[in-house]
Amino acid sequence: MSSASDTIYSLSSGGLPSGVAVVRISGPNASAVSVELCGGHVPARLANLRTIRSRNGEILDQGLVLWFPGPASFTGEDCVELQVHGGRAVVSRLLDELSTMPSFRHAEAGEFSRRAFANGKLDLLEIEGLADLISAETEMQRRLASEHARGGVSYLYQGWAKRLTHARAMIEAELDFADEDDVPGSVSSAIWQDMARLRSEIAEHLEGARTGAIIRNGFRVVISGPPNAGKSSLLNALARQDIAIVTDIAGTTRDVLSVDISLAGFVVKLFDTAGLRDTVDPVEREGIRRAKALLDDADLILSLSDIPGGFMIPRGTSVETLRIATKIDKSDELWDRAAADIFISVEAQGGLETLISALVDRLPAHATAENFAVPSRRRHADHLAQCLDALDRASTRPDLDIQSETLRQAGDALGRITGRVDVEDLLDVIFSEFCIGK
């Protein structure tokens, strides 16, 4: 059975084979590794070249041993790192040897980071930022994740929480010590001026949630239109590879195809969908159903048509839609220039740069900004919205005790983002996203 008192170990570097493999050990008996396997204690925070042996004296490898006494370590516990040659046999034999040591066990997914959280080394925002930093594929993702991982956003939220705590303290003082000479007769004016400013700051911050979501998850572009409008050809042209099968047969694309491309440091997710039409084919009908469902979650819809008046824009959609006239090398004389937003020909390579520029123009303005202190996950935005709601309710209630309670609720909503209040049900979900060894 897993226990927080166990000493845990795992491969913490990348896949094998590799030039170097890092095996991390954390827990109360971590120092036993250097004594029993590495020939004795090693100086703290200095890389030591040691011969690593089994407990029976068999030489396993030669590598660097680093010793990090707690609490000044990643997890807050005693930690040892073994940097050995990254062969599968070497690492497997070393992990087998660690498994024989008393109270040692292999770490679960995210367990090192979870111990860092439990020991106050990192909060949830920093841990989520660390996970995003590991998986970042673009410059924008790296910068967003780095801002969260280094505590920049946590520092902002902590400042807001302190202001809420101060406001509650002043209200409580007025409630409990109204007759005392050193307590102001009314602190409401000063408090609510600051709470109004705080609400404005949080609301402005929350407006960046869409930017954070796009940076982290990608800008979703759905290519839609009737059969044979050139949807698959456009997907292949933008991806610069053959992703979708292209034929003159209507209904060739029956499922959603997707590919990621990089534009201006952002991930742009392109989705090729089944042609929209009435059909009795059950497979094609399912593809069309999926295409329509995808439109609601898009950041941008490219509605394609190869004939004037053929655009099929969803009714009542709030998603921005660009009308793309296709195959203009064959039908340019038929088009009124006001009838479409962009005119392209995949075969002649005409208009593609204009389309790419239009996509870049619709990416968040943070593409060139220095500030990446924005919410990056849905749960962040949800708790910030709860905080704003509590502030609104507090400002409209005349009773001091109710004002204090609603301000407490606002502070709790902020605390749940960083993990300082009532977040036990979130932990398994968050740490399950980590790879083993982190």
pLDDT, tens digit, for every residue of 373-405?
A: 899 999 999 999 999 999 999 888 777 788 888
CB-CB contact of 322 with 243 (8 Å): no
Task: Look at the chain and count its residues.
Answer: 438
pLDDT given at position 402: 86
Alpha carbons 64 and 206: distance in angstroms, whole number: 46
pLDDT given at position 346: 84
CB-CB contact of 141 with 214 (8 Å): no
* CA–CA distances in Å: residue 402 to residues 168, 177, 396, 408, 409: 11, 17, 10, 10, 11
pLDDT given at position 24: 97
* CA–CA distances in Å: residue 236 to residues 87, 90, 230, 247: 39, 44, 10, 13
Sorted by where each starts, the structural domains of the chain and their CATH numbers stand as 7-107 (3.30.1360.120), 125-208+376-431 (1.20.120.430), 218-367 (3.40.50.300)
- Residue-averaged pLDDT of the chain: 84
pLDDT digits (tens, 9 = 90+) for 144-177: 999 999 999 999 999 999 899 888 887 877 776 5
Query: Is the pTM here over 0.75, yes or no?
Result: yes
pLDDT digits (tens, 9 = 90+) for 72-99: 999 999 999 999 999 999 999 999 999 9
Q: What percentage of residues in the chain have a pLDDT greater than 70?
A: 82
pLDDT given at position 360: 92
Q: Is the pLDDT of residue 430 over 70?
A: no
| pLDDT range class, residue 254, cuts 50, 70, 90 | very low
| pLDDT range class, residue 139, cuts 50, 70, 90 | confident
When pLDDT is averaged across residues 407-422 and rounded to a whole number, the result is: 87
pLDDT given at position 436: 60
pLDDT given at position 245: 44
